[in-house]
Structure 1
Amino acid sequence: MKLTGNTIFITGGGSGIGRELAEALHRRGNKVIISGRRRGHLDEVVAANPGMTAVELDVADATSIKKVAAQLIADYPGLNVLINNAGIMLPDQAGAHIDDALMVSTITTNLMGPIRMTSALIDHLKTKNDAVVAYTSSVLAFVPLAVTAVYSSTKAALHSYILSQRFMLRDTKVRVLEIAPPWVRTDLMNSREAEQAMPLEAFIDETMTVLATDVDEVLVEGAKPFRENPGPGEHAFVNGLNAQMMEVLGG
């Protein structure tokens, strides 16, 4: 991916990976527009990064996506990069009753949201040079975390969709990238102080280095064992990971 001279829209840019990625790309001389549901978070990021702009967006709301997409195309005709980063992660009980509201919210936000957002902008992006659609998935797309079964399933589904979209866009100007983070110190699942999680700054630094290459899957070193797992031996890896995490989480 070309890392300078782009006009980039990042969903979920008010905190965590989205904010740090937005700031890293902003420092590289890109025009960066972030979005999120919480105006206060967006204003804080913009104030700390002169030249960055923000727009309120609820990726779980199809009407909000349609409205923001039209606004982006009108206000930023040079837009050539979309990074679908917004997502939610909540614990669930795959071995018991699943809360229906949690399930619907997670699927709508993590899967339907990025599909809708890309769909709303894809015709515009096809007209741009150096166009990119990127998705923040997770290593849990490849190795599910049992205590967040719905979240893990949405990321697995998103990975599958990315593979299909990359194939369908193979003869266009649009590249389709997947960023699959390992466990990173963010607010998701109260992981900011988790010793086992990768420091956010280190994750962003390594991710930016990989983004500068021509790979389709953006994986830091800590993510690679998870990506390599699917296959005949996947159950042993999945069971081992989840046994370890149950001890860490006190389950």
Structure 2
Amino acid sequence: MRINGNTIFIPGATSGIGLALALRLQDAGNQVIIGGRRTELLEEIAAQHPGIDTVRIDTTDAASIAAAASKVIESHPDLNVIVPMAGIMRVEDWTEPGSFLETAEATVTTNLLGPIRLIAAFIEHLLAQPDATIMTVSSGLAFAPLRVTPTYNATKAAIHQLSESLRLQFAGSSVSVVELVPPSVQTELMPGHQDEPTAMPLDEYIDETMNILETQPEATEVQVERVKFLRYGEARGDQEQVIAALNGFAAHAAR
């Protein structure tokens, strides 16, 4: 993916990694359109950052995705990059029957079905562009599970495999597939996580991500150094220790 000269749509970019990445991509010389559910927040962001375009979208709603896609393509016919960024991360306890199903279903709808629907809504347009990119967003937790967020882990593993599979299908076309693989980052994805001392500061994460995009334009996975501990545990042969460290318990308890 080239670092500038793109027209980029990022649904789920009203806060956290999405908004920070949108602003940095705009600064790098791209036209950026951000999407979100709250019209007043979109208006506030647009006022604070001239040049950013906005569209209302609820990525849990198929009709909203279709309407937003139509509007974005009509307003920006040169659109060539989409970044399905919207996601939720919620604690679940599957040992308590009846307590987790609603959360699990919402997580699948937002984190997996949302990106699938978004890609489906834009793919015909992207295939018609001379140079286009789908940037998916998985997680280090796609490769090593956090005990308290089983469905989040599962959706991110699915996004990784979806990215791998689409890359094979689009080989030889004008569409490339790039997977953003964040580690734990200080955002409000979970309550209080913006102050988590063990998480990567947001600015540092975006700095390193932008550097990778600029210096490694052919990269298929955007991996900052911090995520490689999770990403390559199985390859290194220390996955048991990775899981133990991630979940904060002794290695023998991970068996």
Q: Which residue of 2 aligns with 1:241?
A: 246
Q: Which residue of 2 aligns with 1:128?
A: 129
1:1-251 to 2 correspondence within 5 Å? Answer: 1-97=1-97, 98-189=99-190, 190-212=192-214, 213=216, 214-230=218-234, 233-243=238-248
TM-score by length of 1: 0.94
Q: Report the Cα distance in structure 2 between the residues aligned to 1:30 and 1:241, rounded to whole angstroms.
A: 36
Residue pair 1:135, 1:177 contacting (<8 A) in 2 also? yes
Q: Report the Cα distance in structure 1 between the residues aligned to 2:42 and 2:124, rounded to whole angstroms.
A: 27
Residue pair 1:94, 1:147 contacting (<8 A) in 2 also? no
CA deviations 1:39-72 (Å, max 9, x no partner) are 2322222112101111111111111111111111
Change (3 A) 1:235 1:65: same
Q: Work out the number of aligned pairs and report it.
A: 245
Q: Which residue of 2 aligns with 1:249?
A: none
Identify which range, 72-81 or 236-245, moves more after superposition. Answer: 236-245
Residue aligned with 1:34, SS: strand
Change (3 A) 1:96 1:234: farther
Q: Report the Cα distance in structure 1 between the residues aligned to 2:196 and 2:40, rounded to whole angstroms.
A: 26
CA deviations 1:119-143 (Å, max 9, x no partner) are 1101110111221000111100111
Q: Report the Cα distance in structure 1 between the residues aligned to 2:245 and 2:206, rounded to whole angstroms.
A: 27
CA deviations 1:14-59 (Å, max 9, x no partner) are 0000000000011112110000112232222211210111111111
Percent identity (aligned): 42
Q: Report the Cα distance in structure 1 between the residues aligned to 2:200 and 2:242, rounded to whole angstroms.
A: 20
**Structure 2, unaligned runs of 5 or more:** 251-255
Q: Report the Cα distance in structure 1 between the residues aligned to 2:241 and 2:194, rounded to whole angstroms.
A: 28
Q: Report the Cα distance in structure 2 between the residues aligned to 1:65 and 1:230, rounded to whole angstroms.
A: 37
Q: Which residue type is aligned with residue 45 of structure 2?
A: V
Change (3 A) 1:198 1:244: farther
Regions of 4+ moved over 4 Å: none
Q: Which residue of 1 aligns with 2:253?
A: none
Residue aligned with 1:198, SS: coil
Q: Which residue type is aligned with residue 246 of structure 2?
A: L
Q: Which residue type is aligned with residue 221 of structure 2?
A: E
Residue pair 1:19, 1:45 contacting (<8 A) in 2 also? no
Residue pair 2:137, 2:159 contacting (<8 A) in 1 also? no
Cα shift at 1:101: 1.5
Residue pair 2:141, 2:156 contacting (<8 A) in 1 also? yes
Q: Report the Cα distance in structure 2 between the residues aligned to 1:149 and 1:43, rounded to whole angstroms.
A: 35
Residue pair 2:229, 2:242 contacting (<8 A) in 1 also? no
Change (3 A) 1:30 1:244: farther
Residue pair 2:57, 2:65 contacting (<8 A) in 1 also? yes
Q: Report the Cα distance in structure 2 between the residues aligned to 1:44 and 1:140, rounded to whole angstroms.
A: 32
TM-score by length of 2: 0.92
Q: Which residue type is aligned with residue 26 of structure 1?
A: Q
**Structure 1, unaligned runs of 5 or more:** 246-251
Q: Report the Cα distance in structure 1 between the residues aligned to 2:90 and 2:244, rounded to whole angstroms.
A: 20
Q: Report the Cα distance in structure 2 between the residues aligned to 1:244 and 1:114, rounded to whole angstroms.
A: 33
CA deviations 1:99-150 (Å, max 9, x no partner) are 2211111000000000110011011101112210001111001111110111
Q: Which residue type is aligned with residue 3 of structure 1?
A: I
Residue aligned with 1:192, SS: helix
